[in-house]
């Protein structure tokens, strides 16, 4: 039997990189996609096939999927891992930034899914893995636009799971907790730019302190724990619909399911250090 083929976005760092290396170890032919070819050099040295792809560029995605089909004839696994967190008060984040985050985190993932589905349907097999976040299950201050995208990806994944079941295609949601990646620095920078000054500055300072503290750094899980969950999902004969991995995710999701909205508001504000009357 030929090796199964996996396409992983965001493969130049963090969760995407760890997942590419993990699936390579499992015997997959792995295509690692990212915007910058130079940043794919490390995974390329490990025999991951580098694929320059921008998930906000339709032609880029079409060409990438076309190359994989031309070279291997199949796509067995798609891992939508590319994404970033842009924090700031809902009022402060510019429409341009809000749209761009949605293009990367939601529309890019779903467009790439649309492009691989005809091939998976022809095979009558395949697994689509959408990396959301524990932030797709609850809310936090100054994270509105980020949470919106993750909530949307969760909903789309649930609908897609129903739609693709008759074709033998599994859809899996991965909900990482606090993970050590480059994304934390991006989130902090975007938050400073959007709300570091003005009426939400006090809240922004509290959130920034929580994000950049040594205590928070010590609690971060390695990306490998998420890669392990993805490997478990794609290896299962009947994968679970959701896998939770990384520090804080399971207890926070559990608490959100138990307490009222206002109680969760209060708990979250106190945990971050924001006054909540």
Active site residues: 146
Contact present, 161 and 108 (Cβ < 8 Å): no
Q: Around Cβ 173, how many Cβ atoms within 10 Å?
A: 24
The phi and psi torsions of 216 (rounded to 5 degrees) equal: -65, -40
Q: For the chain, how far is it from start to end, CA to CA, in angstroms?
A: 63
Rounded to 10 deg, the angle between the 201-212 and 261-272 helix axes is 70
CA distance 132 to 146: 10
The rounded distance, in Å, linking the Cα atoms of 52 and 44 is 12
Instruction: Using DSSP bridges, classify how beta strands 77-80 and 5-9 pair: parallel, antiparallel or unpaired.
Output: parallel
């Amino acid at each position: 039997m030929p090796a199964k083929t996996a396409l992983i976005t965001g493969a130049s760092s963090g969760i995407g990189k760890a997942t590419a290396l993990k699936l390579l170890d499992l015997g997959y032919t792995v295509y690692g996609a990212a915007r910058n070819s130079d940043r794919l050099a490390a995974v390329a040295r490990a025999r991951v096939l580098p694929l320059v792809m921008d998930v906000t560029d339709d032609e880029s995605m079409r060409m990438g999927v076309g190359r994989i089909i031309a070279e291997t004839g199949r796509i067995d696994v798609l891992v939508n891992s590319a994404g970033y967190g842009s924090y700031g008060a809902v009022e402060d984040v510019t429409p341009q930034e809000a749209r761009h985050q949605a293009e990367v985190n939601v529309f890019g993932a779903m467009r790439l899914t649309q492009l691989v589905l005809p091939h998976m349907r022809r095979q009558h097999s395949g697994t689509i893995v959408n990396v959301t976040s524990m932030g797709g299950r609850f809310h936090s201050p100054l994270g509105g636009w980020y949470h919106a995208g993750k909530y949307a990806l969760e909903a789309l994944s649930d609908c897609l799971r129903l739609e693709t079941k008759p074709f033998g295609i599994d859809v899996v949601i991965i909900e990482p907790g606090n993970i050590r990646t480059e994304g934390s620095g991006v989130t902090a920078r975007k938050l400073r730019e959007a709300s570091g000054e003005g009426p939400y500055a006090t809240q922004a300072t509290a959130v920034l302190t929580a994000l950049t503290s040594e205590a928070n750094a010590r609690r971060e899980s390695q990306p490998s724990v998420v890669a392990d969950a993805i490997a478990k999902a794609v290896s299962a004969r009947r994968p679970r619909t959701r896998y939770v991995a990384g520090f804080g995710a399971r207890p926070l999701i559990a608490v959100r399911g138990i307490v009222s909205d206002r109680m969760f508001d209060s708990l979250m504000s106190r945990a971050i250090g924001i006054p909540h009357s």
